[in-house]
Structure 1
Amino acid sequence: MPSLDQTDWDILRVLQQNAKASCSTIAKLIYVSEGTVRTRMRKLLEAKVFDFIIYTDPKKIGLDVQAIIGIHTQTDQQRHVAFQLQAFEAVRFVGSFSGTHDLIIQVYFPTKEDLVSFINTDLAATEGVIDVEVNVELKQYKDTFSY
């Protein structure tokens, strides 16, 4: 995919504000033809610059406990641990970071008891995990996927 030009960025901006906007609506908003929008969107989708997803508010579906967990792994086990963590349904995000923790995961659970069970049972049994640091979300101020 070549670098994005202003038209591409304008399309993405409109879609981030309203993912349901039609090609004709976007075209009118950014002063290009509907065909241009349709072609650009197809190319951006094919290049995986963006994708359409459904965002579900965790709290509205009963996932009231969110935690960010920092994980220390055995040397040379980081990748192995990361792949194991991906299998857990409660794990929404797994990332490798520089700094204090080798991996950071984001998890959602219905109750604090479910989180405790995950830590004491699932994480404790995960080969290569040395230590975990659990940070439970107390209040959320922003959660967005816009750039």
Structure 2
Amino acid sequence: MDDTDREILRLLQRDARLTSDELGRRLGLSASQAGRRRQRLEEGPIRGYAACIDPGAAGLGVQAFVQVGMASHGRDEHAAFARLAETLPEVTEAFTLTGDADYLLRVWCADLAALNRLVQERLLPHSAVGRVRSQIVMQQLKAGAPLPV
């Protein structure tokens, strides 16, 4: 990956709908050169393209981070919890952590009642879950920032 590839990644992170013509113009390349470079990057570091949705307009009024501590730490328990997290549409990101919590889940819910149902009816009843702590996001200061390539 050279500097031109990195610039293509920077540009596409800001606007994935740029055409090969526009990429070429911005990079001083022909449209075909820009298109070939983009295609090569799509076979490597570019995982895909997605629309950025306004959560409020989509009916999602509560964003929260949910810390999950496991009651037991066996391989099967972690695999079962990972499967659960994968099936919950409210969970938009899930991380394993060091420190007090074993997992950190970023969740989006319609309202506080929906967040409560997620915690009380889906997370806490899971046999491997020992504790759950939620932090509700009051204001998101930075969202969807591009990677520093």
TM-score, structure 1 as length reference: 0.91
How far the C-alpha of 1:127 sits from its partner, in A, is 2.2
Match 2:11 to one of 11, 14, 18: 14
Secondary structure of 2:41's counterpart equals helix
C-alpha spacing 1:19/1:108, structure 2 compared with 1 (3 Å):
same
**8 Å Cα contact 2:124-2:132 kept in structure 1:** no
Q: Is 1:66 matched with 2:63?
A: yes
Secondary structure of 1:131's counterpart equals strand
| Partner Cα separation in structure 2 for residue 121 and residue 13 of structure 1 | 41
Question: What is residue 75 of structure 1 aligned with on the other side?
Answer: 73
1:46-105: CA deviation from partner (whole Å, max 9, x where unpaired): 124342111112112110001100111121222321221110111111111112211111
In structure 1, give the amino acid aligned to 2:73: T
| Partner Cα separation in structure 2 for residue 40 and residue 89 of structure 1 | 34
In structure 2, give the amino acid aligned to 1:102: D
Question: What is residue 34 of structure 1 aligned with on the other side?
Answer: 31
Secondary structure of 1:105's counterpart equals strand
Give the length in aligned residue pairs. 144
**Which structure has the higher relative contact order (CA within 8 Å, separation 6+)?**
2
Q: Is 1:25 matched with 2:22?
A: yes
Question: What is residue 132 of structure 2 aligned with on the other side?
Answer: 132
In structure 2, give the amino acid aligned to 1:123: L
| Partner Cα separation in structure 1 for residue 123 and residue 92 of structure 2 | 15
Task: State the identity %.
Answer: 22
Task: Structure 1 unaligned segments of length 5 or more: list them.
Answer: none
**8 Å Cα contact 1:44-1:50 kept in structure 2:** no
1:105-124: CA deviation from partner (whole Å, max 9, x where unpaired): 11111110111111111112
**8 Å Cα contact 1:68-1:134 kept in structure 2:** yes
Q: CA RMSD in A?
A: 1.3
In structure 1, give the amino acid aligned to 2:101: H
